[in-house]
Every structure is written in structure tokens, then in C-alpha cells.
Amino acid sequence: MDVSCSRGFSLVEVLVATGIVVTAFGVLGSLASIALKTTIVARDRTVAAVLAQSAFDRLASSRLLPAPTPVDSLEEDVPGWVEYADGQGRIVSRDPSAAGTVFVCRWRVAGWRGHPDVRVIAVAAGRCRPHVATRQCHLGTDAVVVTGLRSEVVW
């Protein structure tokens, strides 16, 4: 019987295989984390887009031409030109401290190049990032903006 012939794996082979498996699981874990974060961001942007488009459609389809809003109504929570929605995009209140507030939707209506019968409507929506001192929502760079014209003039 030849003693130099052995069966099984050596300790070094087991350690190398274990290192490869641990590294593979680490890579898979970080990929799963990235995929989860991307999915959450995509979901938030989708809800914000639906919320913004809904508010834009509501403003653009009103019987009367919408009145101009304050200049900063798209950048700040200006009462009367802001709504707050829950995680599904349903409007819950016009008060930022209302229970269930997750998203904020703001709009600005302005005249267009001196034409009194044409309005530019811009709606911004996104996740509400509350500011403790001002109790206002801040929109991040992932906010969705919908812009269009509304006219009573037949071209």
C-alpha cells in the first residue's frame, strides 16, 4: 500500500474554499442591498410622479384659469399651494405635521411671456424630508417636476 496517496482534502484546500464562499456571500449581500435601495428609490419616484401628474391634471383641467401663485411656492411649503400625501400617494392633509405624511406636492402657476390668457403650471412632488426648526418639508434631488401650459385661447 502506498502511503503517499491520500484521500480527502487538506486543511489549506478547505480554508481556500471557505474563503471563496465567504467572499461570494459578501458580494451577494452587498448586491442585494444595492438592489433593495434602488427599488425603494424607484418606488418613491413613481409615487411622486403619479402625485405630481395628478395635481398638474387637476390644475390644468379646472374650469377657470388658475390664478398665479407666490413665486416661491415651488421651493417652500406655502399654505394653499401645497399638499401632503401618505406612502401610497393619497392626499392626507394640507398640514405638514399631519399623521401619515410621507410625500409633499407643491405647485406654482405663473403668467407666460405677457400673455394674460396663458399660464405655466409647474408641480414638484417627492418624499417629505422634514426640517425640525421650520416644520417644513424639503424636497431632495430625487423630486419629480411636471410642467406644462394651460390656455383659454384657441390657437
Per-residue pLDDT of the chain (155 residues; tens, 9 = 90+): 455 556 777 888 889 999 999 999 999 999 999 999 999 999 999 999 999 999 999 988 888 878 889 999 988 888 889 999 998 888 888 776 777 788 999 999 998 888 888 889 999 999 988 777 667 788 877 889 999 988 876 55
Q: So what's the pLDDT on residue 113?
A: 82
Q: Buried (b) or exposed (e) across 24-46, using 16+ Cβ within 10 A?
A: eeeeeeeeeeeeeeeeeeeebbe
Whether residue 77 contacts residue 137, with contact meaning beta carbons closer than 8 Å, is answered with: yes
Q: So what's the pLDDT on residue 37?
A: 93
Selection from 126, 127, 109 nearest residue 118 by Cα: 109
| Measured distance CA(3)–CA(102) in Å, rounded | 72
3-class secondary structure, 83: strand
Question: For residue 91, how many other CB atoms are within 10 A of its CB?
Answer: 14
| Measured distance CA(75)–CA(72) in Å, rounded | 5
Query: What's the whole-model pTM score?
Result: 0.75
Q: So what's the pLDDT on residue 120?
A: 92
Q: So what's the pLDDT on residue 5?
A: 58
Between 3.30.310.10, 3.30.1300.30, 3.20.20.70, 3.90.180.10, what CATH number should domain 11-151 receive? 3.30.1300.30
